[in-house]
Structure 1
Amino acid sequence: MKQAIQYMIISALAFTFLNVFVKSLNNFGVYQIVFFRSIGSLFFTIPFLLKHKISLLGNKKGLLIMRSIFGLISMTLFFLSIKYIAMGTAVSIRYIGPIFAALFALLFLKEKIKPIQWFFFLMAFLGVLVLKGFDTELEIKGMVFALVSAVFVGLVYITIRKIGNEDHPVVVVNYFMIISAVIGGLLSINAWVNPVGKEWLILLSLGVFGYFAQLYMTKAMQAGETNQIAPLKYLEVIFTIIIGLVWFKEIYTIWSLVGILLIISGLTLNIFTKKK
Structure 2
Amino acid sequence: MKNNSAISYMIFSVIAFAIMNAIIKYLTIFNVYQVVFFRSIGTLCFTIPLILKQKTSFLGNNKKLLFLRAFFGVISITCFFQSLNYLAVGTAVSLRYTSPIFAAIFAAIFLKEKVKKIQWLLFFIAFLGVLIIKGFGVDVNTIGLLLIITSAIFLGLIFVIIRKIGNSENPLVIINYFMILAFVFGGIMSIDNWIMPNNLQWLLLLSSGVFGYIGQLYMTKAFQSNETNLVAPLKYLEVIAMIVIGSIWFDEVYNLWSLLGVFLILVGLIYNIYLKRKIS
- The TM-score with structure 1 as length reference comes to 0.87
* 2:164 is the alignment partner of 1:162: yes
1:52 Cα deviation after fit: 0.6
Give how far 1:29 is off: 0.9
Is the CA contact 1:92–1:264 (under 8 Å) kept in the aligned structure 2? Answer: no
Cα offset, 1:101, TM superposition: 1.1
Flag the 1:210–1:136 CA change in 2: closer, same or farther, 3 A: closer
Cα deviation 1:38-93 (Å, max 9, x = unaligned): 11100000111100100001111111110001111111111122222222222222
Equivalent positions of 1:127-206 (< 5 A) are 127-135=129-137, 137-206=139-208
C-alpha distance 136-217 of structure 1, shift in aligned 2 (>3 A): closer
Asked if 2 retains the 8 angstrom alpha-carbon contact of 1:89 and 1:256, the reply is no
What SS is found at the alignment partner of 2:193? coil
In the TM superposition, residue 133 of structure 1 has moved relative to its aligned partner by 2.6
| Amino acid in structure 2 at the alignment position of 1:161 | R
Consecutive unaligned residues in structure 2, runs of 5 or more: none
Distance (Å, rounded) in 2 between the aligned partners of 1:100 and 1:230: 10
Distance 1:243 1:216 in 2: 21
Instruction: Name the amino acid aligned to 2:129.
Output: G
Aligned to 2:144, the other structure's residue is in SS state helix
Counterpart position of 1:103: 105
The range that moved more, 118-127 or 40-49, is 118-127
Matched, 1:85 2:84: no
- Would you say the 8 A contact 1:81–1:145 is kept in 2? yes
Q: Is the 1:81–1:143 Cα contact (8 Å) retained in structure 2?
A: yes
User: For the residues of structure 2 that align with 1:270 and 1:198, how far apart are their CA atoms?
Assistant: 42
Q: CA deviation at 1:201?
A: 0.7
Aligned partner of 1:248 in structure 2 is 250
Q: Assess, with a 3 A threshold, how the Cα gap between structure 1 residues 81 and 261 changes in structure 2: closer, same or farther.
A: farther
8 A Cα contact 2:230 2:276, kept in partner: no
**Bigger shift: residues 244-253 or 50-59:** 244-253
Q: Provide the C-alpha distance between the structure 2 equivalents of 1:229 and 1:95, rounded to a whole number of angstroms.
A: 13
Amino acid corresponding to residue 104 of structure 1 in structure 2: F
Root-mean-square deviation (Å): 2.9
Structure 2 CA distance for aligned equivalents of residues 71 and 221 of structure 1: 15
Q: TM-score, normalised by structure 2?
A: 0.86
1:53 counterpart (48, 55, 58): 55
Residues 228-247 of structure 1: pairs in structure 2 closer than 5 A: 234-247=236-249
Match of 1:208 in 2: 210
For residues 125 and 9 of structure 1, do their structure 2 counterparts lie closer, same or farther at Cα, with a shift above 3 Å needed? closer
TM alignment of 1:213-228, pairs within 5 A: 213-215=215-217
Query: Does the aligned pair in 2 maintain the 1:65–1:176 contact within 8 Å?
Result: yes
CA contact (8 A) 2:130 2:261 kept: yes
Q: Measured at CA, do residues 232 and 266 of structure 1 come closer, stay the same or move farther in structure 2, by a change above 3 Å?
A: closer
3-state DSSP class of the match of 2:58?
A: coil
Q: Tell me, what secondary structure is at the counterpart of 2:168?
A: coil
The residue that corresponds to 2:18 in the other structure is 16
Runs of at least 5 residues in structure 1 that lack an aligned partner in the other structure: none
Give the Cα separation in 1 of the matches to 2:274 and 2:115: 13
Aligned length, in residue pairs: 274
Instruction: Give the SS at the match of 1:83.
Output: coil
1:41–1:177 contact (8 Å) kept in structure 2: yes
**What amino acid does structure 1 have at the position aligned with 2:83?**
S
